[in-house]
Chains A and B, each alone.
Chain A
Amino acid sequence: MTEALVQEFEALAGTATAESPEWLESARRSAMERFTRTGFPTGREEEWRFTPVKPVAQTRWRLANGTPAVVTRRHIAPFTFGHAEWTTLVFVNGVLSESLSEIGPLPEGVLVGGLSEALRGDGALLQEHLTRHAPVEDSAFTALNTAFLREGGVIYVPAGVELSRPVHLIFVATPEAAGTVTHPRNLIVVEKGSRASVIESYVSLSQGSTYWTNAVTEVSAGAGSWLEHTRIQRESEQAHHIGLTQVNQQRDSHYRSFSLAMGGALARHNLHVRLNDENIETLMYGLYLTRGEQVVDNHTAIYHDQPHCRSWEVYKGVLDGRSRAVFNGKVFVKPEAQKTDAKQTNRNLLRSDEARVDTKPQLEIFADDVKCTHGATVGKLDDVARFYARSRGLPADAVERLLTYAFAAEVIEEVVLEPVRQELERLVLERLGGI
């Protein structure tokens, strides 16, 4: 498939050049070279040991790029969870839909819009950040995304601005998107002392549809900034989703991430956060709900490069059927990163004997005065808790759902933005069939 992708890239190159600046063309080209050199990863690579990407690598995907579809606000309503007043960008099959998007008045200097439009405008912001945070050398998928990047959300919050209304980026795959790939590319820049909440949703209008989303989001969190970043991945359960969120944090900044993964036949999300200066706080929460034959993989990496930073990570999984989950959590602490406080937890609840989890904490600590802990559990619901609830009169099946919900809700509670928290709770309840 690599050759076919190269041909496709070359065919597009002429038109793409007309649209995008030269620095980006050279970034695209080196990304494509990087991809051509390695091709798709295989199970022989440690990073992909438990997550075979064959279904992605061996299919010839057409570029979606706006595959025509009739989508109305009514279709989108379930995914905006009733917050029409938020700044919402809706991308349909990879292309920004102006009629479905909602951009109200924004504070001065704030930019929220589509990437392709931003590329046509003043290039300074993009040149400083786009492709600068997510290294193509790290992953063939990032390389492909970079080579083919075209559309996505661009959010820029200048220094000292508090963005009161959340920004919601919704990537919609319609039934017409079957057999296609999109490479959404998002850029979030919050400058010094600013504050924002961003939600990314990846959704499908047809549950049985097979397509591939290959998303990359770059985040730059300036000194003293505060950013809550929620990722809701609810693709079709026959689709494939590969995503990277790459974050660079500056001094005194606070970045909190919540990642929900419940869609995809094969879903992988990498969250990489680099702590570039002192007194940074990074919170990473995750929840994955899998069933059937789903394979859901979360890889996180935290780079403690400087002293006096704190990272706190909790990922939880609820697995049903014959589904599989993979969790890999890396924490790197450089020799100079003294007084690092890092805690990582991965807890899994198996609701079926055939479900399986591969969990791997990976701590590489080169400083001596640090507090770093990790823990992973894989198990079933606690029998004592089950009996306790039943002894209060709750039927066994209701107790099962209640305790499973409670297990998941505990991590959802960490989301600051209440409407998002409520939506996440609703999604879990819906999956469990109510409590």
Chain B
Amino acid sequence: MLEIRNLNASAGDTEILRGINLTVNAGEVHAVMGPNGSGKSTLAQVLAGHPAYTVTSGSVTYMGQDLLALEPEKRAQAGVFLAFQYPVEIPGVTNAYFLRAAYNERRKAHGEEEIDSMDFIDLLESKLKLVDWGPEIMSRAVNFGFSGGEKKRNEILQMAVLEPRLAILDETDSGLDIDALRIVAKGVNELRRPDNATILVTHYQRLLNYIVPDHVHVLVGGRIVKSGGKELALELEARGYEWLEDAVGAAT
């Protein structure tokens, strides 16, 4: 589904990603872990098309297409979804309007008819249940005045509605209490299907108690320095990142 080859990216003059290689197949959950400043969030944002980053070399192929050639909205319409680390508040636009507009753009891109607000309300019912919310959340402005946990739940709600092929969750676990974490994890797990894939970007192993990854990758200094199964996450929990950082330091 996703093939990242020798991806290099920078923000301004600062090189952040230095040759990322990663293959994600349909049905898989990959965890990308690493210390602060290792480039995890940058990788997530580059995949979604954040204009603040420049890809200097390498390629990303998503479902046979050159992902990097697509505008952010085209990537979204093609099924890529980034759950933001810091979801943005949009005062003045209701959650319902925003989500329906996004949903309809996706339908239009697939040659399907737009759905009206009544049909959308029906569709929302089951999605709201997934994150333990009532319909009143939909008349609030997007993320405006939401608590940290509510914002993350809203990201999962958006994901549930948009049904991405490739979901990238950027530190969705950070700042969550245990209840919110459970809700978020439940959402992700229930949305798992054989034809979609998930990349979890996280600093801590905690989230992986709830969402079990097939593969774990450790990013240090803009490179994947180690990959393994779910047991690698536990090792990182026990030993920290220092031993890997030292290993990279010694190698360069």
Contacts and interface: CB of A to CB of B under 8 A. Distances in A.
A406 B92 contact: yes
A388 B144 CA distance: 14
Contacts of A388: 84, 87-88, 90
Given A383-B52, A396-B73, A402-B101, A391 B82 contact: yes
Interface size class of B (residues with CB under 8 A): 20 to 34
Interface in B52-104: 52, 71-73, 75-77, 81-82, 84, 87-88, 90-93, 98, 101-102
B105 interface: yes
Nearest to A386: B51
A74 interface: no
Given A392-B98, A392-B102, A393-B102, A384 B88 contact: yes
Contacts of B93: 402, 405-406, 409
B153 to A, nearest CB: 16
Interface of B: 48-52, 71-73, 75-77, 81-82, 84, 87-88, 90-93, 98, 101-102, 105-106, 109, 141, 158, 162
Nearest to B89: A385
A387 B50 contact: yes
Nearest to B106: A393
* Most chain A CB atoms below 10 A, which of B50, B51, B93, B109: B93
Interface in A392-429: 392-396, 398-399, 402-403, 405-410, 413
Interface residues of A, number: 26
A388 to B, nearest CB: 4
Nearest to A425: B92
A382 B88 CA distance: 10
11 contacts: A387-B52, A388-B84, A388-B90, A390-B72, A393-B105, A394-B101, A402-B93, A402-B98, A403-B90, A405-B93, A413-B92
A389 interface: yes
B90 A393 contact: no
A392 B155 CA distance: 10
A407 B72 contact: no
A394 B105 contact: yes
Nearest to B72: A390
Interface of A: 382-385, 387-396, 398-399, 402-403, 405-410, 413, 435
A410 B142 CA distance: 12
A236 to B, nearest CB: 28
Given A392-B76, A392-B98, A410 B50 contact: no
Q: Which 10 A-B pairs have the closest CB atoms?
A: A406-B92, A409-B92, A393-B76, A392-B102, A388-B88, A393-B105, A390-B72, A410-B92, A406-B93, A390-B73
Given A390-B73, A391-B48, A396-B71, A410 B91 contact: yes
* Most chain B CB atoms below 10 A, which of A393, A406, A413: A393
